[in-house]
Structure 1
Amino acid sequence: MRKLFLGATALTAALLATTAFAADPIKIGRVVHMTGPAAGGDAVSHTPNVKLWVKQVNDRGGLKVGDEMRLIEMVEYDDKSNPAEMIKAVQRLATQDDVDFLLSPWGTGFNAAAAPIFAKYGYPQISVTNITDEIPELSERFPGMFFTLGSTTGFVEGLRDTLNKLRDSGAIGNKVAMVNVADSFGIELAAVARELLPAAGYEIVFDKSYPLGTADLSPVVKGAKAAEPDAFIAFSYPPDTFALTEQAIIEDLNVGAFYTAVATAFPAYAGKFGSKIEGNLGAGGVNLDQEAMKAYRAAFTKHNDGPPEYWAAATYYAGLQVLEQAIEGAGTTDRQAVTDFIKANEFDTAIGAISFDEHNESRHYWTVGQWKDGAFNAVAGVGVPVGMEPVAKDGWN
């Protein structure tokens, strides 16, 4: 499936542009998980931000490239959440559609799979929804790849530190039940947790993985409950984050710390479970007091008739801002020139000023958030101010 879209002003401009002097649009390609198990994450963290960004840029006349204002034209394909289909679609965008730039796909494994094609054709890859400890190796192998959401170890350290605060306050003990989705995201996080948590004095009393797309997670939650943990940790993707939480409510899994990963920050998570998720911990979070964050969330809410999620959405939008500022700063759509500009400059974004040290903006990111009073605020992070201190979960009220 191929999808082309222009912002409203872009469409108007295209209809009115009757002379040969109109600048060609900048074609940007994107492979989308429109269907399949990864569709939920893409639909919340990526797609609405792309639409917002394209509308904002085209409403002001496009990107200024040298002396020309050039509108953005998007070219999109559905990969059905299938890595093989994703690779074919990225290849098609690069070779048949000849897009000027590519946006990174959603998900750690998908970013790794796409990286060789981005590199082969010289596209900068601002890899946002991608958490890995292999940043140095990937940066060396793929010199146009950039990272913004942090490292695996950083995320587990944030979770460990959050558990430590709860343990120090007497809210939890040392027994942890841990589960993970069996793809690169969950496998890598769980592997690091198996090292860091016991080293901090925690006993992992239940350790279980499950395949991506598993429909029935009740056996997983029942097994975790039987181990009588003080804390429950799930390195999960959106469908399983919802399913695990639902099963925890059904089974009345009574723990002082309940953590699920991707989608815990989604408004739909609060919409489904309401006050029952008060005190739930999850991946990411944001600091709602930052002015740049307030401006981004206001613009997103106005354009989408609802707020963004509280984690990767803002960082993904910041990645689009980096690409925009790099194209305009370089004054060209030459991909190598834009890549070099990204490496050498600082960018003003929704998450604050960011720059890349050895391809990695890993000095400023949030790692753990918590639901409290209807908002998901950061309680742990690296080089960034958090929104609040963690508190114990008090049942499924």
Structure 2
Amino acid sequence: MELTHFNDDLLSFLHTSPTPFHATATMKKHLLAQGFVELIESEEWVIDEGGQYFVTRNDSSLIAFTVPQLNLNQLGWRMMGAHTDSPCLKLKPNAQVDRFGFHQLGVEVYGGALLHTWLDRDLSIAGRITLKTQGGEIVSRLVDFVDPIAVIPNLAIHLNRQANEGFSVNPQEEILPILCGVENEFDLHELLKSQLKKQYPALAVDSVLDFELSLYDTQPAALVGLHKEYICSARLDNLLSCFVGLKALLDSKEQRPSLLVCTDHEEIGSLSACGANGPFLEDVLRRLTPNPEQYVQAMQRSMLVSADNAHALHPNYAHKHDKLHAPAINKGAVIKVNANQRYATNSETASIYRDIAAQENYEVQCFVVRSDMACGSTIGPITSGEIGVPTIDIGLPTFGMHSIRELAGSHDAYGLYKVLVRFTQRGDLISRV
């Protein structure tokens, strides 16, 4: 797969994935198209040698894997991990707010969003609705309004003369989107029923019972810069890594058992039934290797590449970096290191990754946060701590992380994809002789 085609597919993936539910559905569609078989957690599994499978949980997390051979305790897994969620604004249960002549939406901030970037953007709504049909069934469906139907206008500088000296946004009072004026009738549940009928004409909707809906920026992802050197989009953290891992799994040669895990709720700590700090991955792996002795053997012959975005050196804020660990955009993926295990990288996993990257002539960078600044974390230490798998944390250099629109290199993702394809084919990882 060459660079232009890869980036076209990436832009399409970002466009069709406004929420973790939609990202999971998009990945599911790609997997089914390539012959992967969907497994249902509540049913008995039959795994065949040479098979390709995937399973979802909560419609927002996904694990896909290939098993060219079934002696997993001898071969181990080549795992790739990412997360499906991004900071955003989520509708509250009683979301309809009418004040001062406007119909608005009450929202709750999900994760560490850069709130001011949500102002003056063309916003739409997407997510999951759970409903009761006229036949009495309770079912869930994904919705996406697509069109810009909401906006959060900024306050004019004439009313906030200190805006350019430091600006904060009150999440309770100042981030409520405007839908329309009160001269127009508006009922949120009726709006949701109407959208369900529009997207699912054959679905006989009786009532909307509940929903998990988010706002998102309708501006599509794009290649930007004088020479199209950058990709600008919402949710690059961390759909960029989900896409790279998915493509690597689909294009692996199946020489080794390979697995992609993309979990929800990383931005809020990963502690959920479908998060990395929950039982999803271990449940799947133990079903594939139910013998306790062989399960441990399999984990110790495995390796996880945890991929999450990294902070690129911003030319306007260079002082925020350790100058010896300041990654550049379009100079390769970043190995993330932290002495306090906020990242799971160690010298062995880093060395294995460096060796694989060198075989692809792919540059490697390294990131360590300034010693006087707090360090973020990823699914890497959580997953490694849960199942004992040797892990490396890597990431693609990014500007504006947690902004409504982030910026990354248009060459970096493709290079990482090639390295991960080779990783899925890797034999023995490190000699213990």
TM-score range, shorter chain: under 0.3
Which structure has the greater CA radius of gyration? 2
Give the TM-score of the pair, scaled to structure 1: 0.28
Q: Which has the higher contact order (CA 8 A, sep 6+)?
A: 2
Give the TM-score of the pair, scaled to structure 2: 0.26
